[in-house]
Amino acid sequence: MPRIVVENVTLNYPLYGRLTSSQAERLTKAPDLNQSGSQRLIRNKHGGVIGVQALQNVSFTAESGERLALVGENGSGKTTLLQALAQIYAPDVGKIYINGQFTSLVNINLGMQPEASGHRNITLRGLAAGRTREEIEYKRAEIAAFSELEEFLDLPVMTYSSGMRMRLNFAIATAFEPEILILDEWLSAGDSAFRAKATARMKTFVGKAGILVFASHNRNMLLDNCQRAIWLDAGRIREDGPVKDILGAYDQEMVCRQAIRDERSRNSLAAIEAKKSLLTSNHGKKMVRASPAWRARIGALLPGRLLRRIMKILIP
């Protein structure tokens, strides 16, 4: 039976060598203002930023048959948690136990070899997903038919258009029934006719999964496909419960946070305008004080009453 156990997981992103000197200086001077911002920055003893804490002490269990939604703002840790479940990133602290074969649709372009043919990529992607050669060959004709690429499958993928690559990736990614499905946003591909076919395939694919872990900002998709939700806030679990209740609480919180952000933006713009007005006013005063002295100095250097009159006209 498929099962996921996440125990006290903390995951950090190191930033050594990834910041410019000006970025590093600004971050060093920045105060730790709030939980969703700079408090997640990892600093050295001199105050310099050396990393970001993406997940902090995350724990939960998902049993067979569960449909689990991940909700949260951008940067809250949803995709990082999915990547940790897919074993793309290893936790710095804590453990993740996965019982069952998983399919990760966090980044379906990952692992595509542009120099290899479409058929060769079907083999490579299948092997990378832990499938046997027998399983891959059994599904090859289905993948080829669904992608509608026909003879192009014998050509290097680098010769494909972006839409053709997406069709092939989608066909491969959804070919094998998953015990555990890790999904970052709902997948679709191609033109309108192909998208309709892809949407129907996704519904069947999701329905066959033993466990679904689904991160999305689409409220209707989460309500249609999940019963339980985990709300991630600044890398931590804020709430865990029925999806409808969690989404209601999350939406209310987002309305309040947006009002605070809007007020902060208005105050910042007002401060900028006030500073501009002050600078303009000071600049005008300096010009008024300097003009008579400048005019007298120039007038003393110019010979002749006529030229001085001309200068008075040009410089009133």
What's the CATH number where 227 sits?
A: 3.40.50.300
Query: pLDDT value at position 37?
Result: 44
Q: Is the pLDDT score of 31 beyond 60?
A: no
Q: In what order do the strands lie in the sheet with 49-62?
A: 41-43, 49-62, 3-14, 93-99
Same domain assignment for residues 135 and 204? yes
pLDDT per position as a tens digit, 227-284: 999 999 999 999 999 999 999 999 999 999 999 989 888 888 888 888 777 777 665 5
Residue 194 in any domain: the answer is yes
Q: What local confidence, expressed as pLDDT, does residue 210 receive? A: 93
Structural domain boundaries enclosing 296: 258-309
With 50 as the cut, is the pLDDT of residue 120 above it? yes
Q: 202 with 186: CB under 8 angstroms?
A: yes
Instruction: Say how many CA atoms lie within 13 Å of 74 toward its Cβ.
Output: 0
Does 28 have pLDDT greater than 70?
no
* Encoded tokens for 56: 């902090």
Check whether residue 174 and residue 209 sit in a common domain.
yes
Look at strands 211-215 and 49-62 and give their pairing: unpaired
Does residue 236 form part of some domain? yes
The predicted pLDDT at position 142 comes to 94
Quick one: 196 and 263 in the same domain? no
Question: Does any domain span residue 40?
Answer: no
pLDDT for 190 equals 64
Final residue of a structural domain among 217, 243, 269: 243
Tokens read off for 169: 């990736």
Pairing relationship of beta strands 228-233 and 67-71 according to DSSP bridges: parallel
Q: Please check whether residue 54 lies inside any domain of the structure.
A: no
Instruction: Give the pLDDT score at 315.
Output: 53
Look at residue 290 and tell me whether its pLDDT is greater than 50: no
Give the number of domains in the chain: 2
Evaluate whether residue 250 is within a structural domain. Answer: no
Residue 234 CB contacts under 8 Å (≥ 6 apart), including other chains: 35, 36, 39, 40, 56, 76, 77
Out of 243, 266, 299, a domain closes at 243
What percent of the chain has pLDDT above 70?
Answer: 80
Contact (Cβ atoms closer than 8 angstroms) between residue 126 and residue 136: yes
Mean pLDDT computed over 54-73: 95
